[in-house]
Structure 1
Amino acid sequence: MKSGIPFTVRRWSAWAPSLDGPEAWQQWARGEADIPVGEVTPDVRDLPAGLRRRLSRLGKIALRVAMDVEPEENSRVVFSSRNGNVNEMLSLLQSLAVEEPISPTGFGMSVHNSLAGMLSIVRKNRAAQTAIAAGGESLCLGLIEALACLNEDPSSPVLLLHADETLPDFYAPFQDREVPVCALALVIDAAAQGEGAYSFGFSGTQTRDMPGDPMTSFIRFLLRGETNWNWSGAEGDWWCRRHA
């Protein structure tokens, strides 16, 4: 019998092109819709205008789901992403290659923890924040970090924010699996006595091949109310169990 780190999901939000609400995601989870490819961005008119101008598409996606879950003002934040603001970084590198000056704003927004910082500014939140980049396991390691924060102080929830987008064509030869344009926000908390909860763990060895994107398969697991979730990355097998 596997044991893992227990937690409960208080609130969730996800965004992908044409999937911008709970009902749309439920239809997708039932197999009635796909995640389309496109340059669509979410509506972020509730963010300050000055901030909106600084945000890349990834930034708008990430902050949209974070704002939608309405995290507690002092929630600790864990931001995870495999590729981060890769389009912003590529633009900076292209400018350097032709000896053009780089944008200070672009440089600041290309830093991996910049989106967590932007969220803290919007929410006036001085609580701790962590940024995770761990290749294909970025979502899984982000969740481990969030659960470690929760274990350290179970009295307040933790916001896990994961966002990614497809690599630009320049980096396509290095892409080992398809990464959809998608973001997920989970407010995780310690489960009360008798409350339904999840447990999350890692085997440390790879025993099966589980192709596909871990974020979308994890969203499907949550929305379908399934009992088990399994995914394998380069470092081993990851699993999550739902307990009644």
Structure 2
Amino acid sequence: MPDPHWTIPVARWSSWPAATTAAPDIGFIEPIVRRRLSTLSKAALKVAHDCVGADEARVVFASRHGELRRTTEILRAISSGEPVSPTAFSLSVLNAMTGVFGIARGDRSAASAISAGPETLGYALLEAYAQHATQLASPVLLVYADEPADPAYGTIDDEVQGGAIALLLSNETALGHLVCTQSASPRLHDSEPAATRFATQSQALLHCLETGEPAAWQGAGVLWQWEWHDRAA
């Protein structure tokens, strides 16, 4: 059986590094809401807004841990007998960012959320492709945002790097195409690897988008690879 592969038309993309000390500019969100958002949601909203602006788009949000840090704080409050804020509870769900984003823009387009362990970003790219393929005239916004889990959870295999990445899928204004491939891990033994391998999927994808060079990530029994092709003139 051939390795599954798919091609995504990328109209715009944006990223936000986890290591930066600057605050993401999310001035399009009302101050009363902005104050309550986590660092994770702020980064996700920033890159999402960079890509889609005021246009409507279906949203695929992806995160391995989501708002786990907020949830952890809620659990600590409960164990200490302290009251839990209803706002904190409502913003603790995995896809909290999609609700805030849709309300702020008055966009009622469909939104979905993906979480698939260390392969979350790869499967989110597949979901975004599938949604776009069903309605080619309707753009799809993929937003990936994550941060390492609280130390209370101990060592986590293939832990995330953190940060946020967004891609707008649209045939109308595509800058280029991202080719995604998932293959069996024995391909790792090829004498000439097809791409530089990275510790996380987000690092690999960002390298591919920034440099145009192939990049890959190896998981348990699978190799994910990404290649960038500029739009033909």
Q: TM-score range by the shorter chain?
A: 0.7 to 0.9
Where does residue 185 of structure 2 map in the other structure? 206
Cα distance, 1:235–1:79 mapped onto 2, change above 3 Å: farther
Q: Is the 8 A contact 2:11 2:171 kept in 1?
A: no
Where does residue 220 of structure 2 map in the other structure? 234
- After superposition, residues 23-172 of structure 1 pair within 5 angstroms as 36=19, 40-71=22-53, 73-171=55-153
**CA–CA separation in structure 2 for the residues paired with 1:147 and 1:6:** 8
Code of the residue aligned with 1:181 in structure 2: it is G
Cα distance, 1:234–1:39 mapped onto 2, change above 3 Å: farther
**CA–CA separation in structure 1 for the residues paired with 2:83 and 2:10:** 45
Q: In structure 2, which of residues 154, 168, 176 is the aligned counterpart of residue 187 of structure 1?
A: 168
**CA–CA separation in structure 2 for the residues paired with 1:178 and 1:112:** 17
Code of the residue aligned with 1:132 in structure 2: it is I
**Deviations for 1:187-230, whole angstroms, at most 9, x for unmatched residues?**
0124799x852322322x3334955121122111111011x232
CA RMSD of aligned residues (A): 2.5
Report the more deviating stretch, 213-222 or 129-138: 213-222
**CA–CA separation in structure 1 for the residues paired with 2:27 and 2:157:** 35
Give the gaps of 5 or more residues in structure 2. 190-196
Cα distance, 1:110–1:196 mapped onto 2, change above 3 Å: closer
Name the SS for the 1:174 alignment partner: coil
Distance apart, 1:180 and its partner CA = 2.6
Cα distance, 1:70–1:190 mapped onto 2, change above 3 Å: closer
**CA–CA separation in structure 2 for the residues paired with 1:47 and 1:163:** 18
Distance apart, 1:146 and its partner CA = 0.3
Cα distance, 1:9–1:211 mapped onto 2, change above 3 Å: closer
Name the SS for the 1:63 alignment partner: helix
Cα distance, 1:242–1:42 mapped onto 2, change above 3 Å: closer
Name the SS for the 1:12 alignment partner: strand
Cα distance, 1:154–1:212 mapped onto 2, change above 3 Å: same
**CA–CA separation in structure 1 for the residues paired with 2:164 and 2:200:** 12
Distance apart, 1:82 and its partner CA = 0.9
Code of the residue aligned with 2:9 in structure 1: it is T
Instruction: Give TM-score, length-normalised by structure 1.
Output: 0.81
**CA–CA separation in structure 2 for the residues paired with 1:192 and 1:125:** 21
**CA–CA separation in structure 2 for the residues paired with 1:14 and 1:198:** 16
Residue 36 (structure 2) pairs with residue 9 (structure 1): no
**CA–CA separation in structure 2 for the residues paired with 1:57 and 1:241:** 30
Q: Is the 8 A contact 1:82 1:135 kept in 2?
A: yes
Name the SS for the 1:167 alignment partner: coil
- Percent identity over paired residues: 34
